[in-house]
């Protein structure tokens, strides 16, 4: 059983880390159910285990937190849905690559609920959209709409995904998001869609079971395992 938790107010990052630590320990000990925690953070930057100092271009703009997850720098803040995913891969198949691919499929399926085509890109973990307003039809602009970074402890996951609903996109200017300089970021509202956080939460819950629920509660379903990213934003502890 997966418990869904929604935070009614912004959650400080240190508080979120402490919650995940405690919940993952309880899941590992068989004392708590798996959980999906939906929340927003106040404006902040997080540094993953592969973060490069030069990618933090405005270090004094917002607080910077060492996340302990895989990946590089990312931004969290109001208008961005963060879904922390505390799932037990001991019962879901100990396949990190497939798990990250399933998280991407979950995002893609969620975006499809709003008629947005999210896509993978080789060498770029996360989910991307081709801009419909691109001025270069033969080389269309691509922006990142969702990020992924996870950590595993005894095969139970921490951290998870973030999807941009209506954040202040200028806040991403203080970092090189995920170390990728040649592409930008976007959001559902930036794409012209009047989507609310509540709308997105409904879509996340509606699509979760398509990817992660199965009769034997083991491997998540993925649309194309060969498309899973070769470079996976994870860390282990």
Chain centre to alpha carbon of residue 128: 12
Catalytic residue among 178, 191, 203, 228: 178
17 φ/ψ angles, rounded to the nearest 5 degrees: -60, -45
CA distance linking residue 156 with residue 136, whole number of Å: 44
CA distance linking residue 126 with residue 229, whole number of Å: 9
CB atoms within 10 A of CB 176: 17
Judge whether 88 and 27 are in contact, CB under 8 Å.
yes
212 Cβ contact list (under 8 Å, min separation 6): 2, 87, 92, 102, 106, 220, 221
Task: Give the closest residue to 38 by CA, choosing from 105, 84, 103.
Answer: 84
- Catalytic residue status for 178: yes
CA distance linking residue 135 with residue 129, whole number of Å: 15
- Positions annotated as catalytic residues are 178
């Amino acid at each position: 059983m997966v418990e869904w938790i929604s935070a009614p107010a912004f959650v400080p990052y240190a508080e979120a880390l402490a919650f995940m630590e405690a919940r993952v320990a309880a899941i590992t000990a068989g004392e708590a159910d798996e959980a999906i925690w939906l929340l927003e953070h106040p404006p902040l930057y997080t540094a993953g285990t592969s973060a490069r100092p030069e990618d933090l271009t405005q270090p004094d703009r917002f607080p910077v937190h060492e996340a302990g997850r895989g990946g590089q720098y990312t931004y969290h803040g109001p208008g961005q849905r963060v879904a922390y995913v505390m799932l037990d891969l001991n019962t879901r198949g100990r396949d990190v690559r497939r798990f990250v691919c399933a998280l991407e499929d979950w995002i893609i399926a969620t975006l499809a609920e709003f008629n947005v085509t999210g896509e993978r890109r080789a060498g770029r973990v996360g989910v991307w959209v081709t801009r419909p307003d691109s001025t270069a039809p033969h080389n269309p602009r691509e922006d990142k709409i969702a990020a992924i970074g996870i950590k595993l402890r005894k095969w139970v996951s921490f951290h998870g995904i973030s999807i941009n609903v209506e954040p202040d996109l200028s806040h991403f200017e203080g970092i090189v998001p995920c170390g990728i300089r040649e592409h930008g970021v976007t959001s559902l509202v930036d794409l012209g869609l009047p989507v609310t956080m509540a709308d997105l939460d409904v879509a996340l819950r509606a699509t979760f079971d398509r990817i992660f629920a199965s009769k034997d509660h083991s491997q998540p379903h993925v649309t194309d395992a060969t498309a899973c990213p070769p470079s996976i934003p994870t860390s282990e502890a």
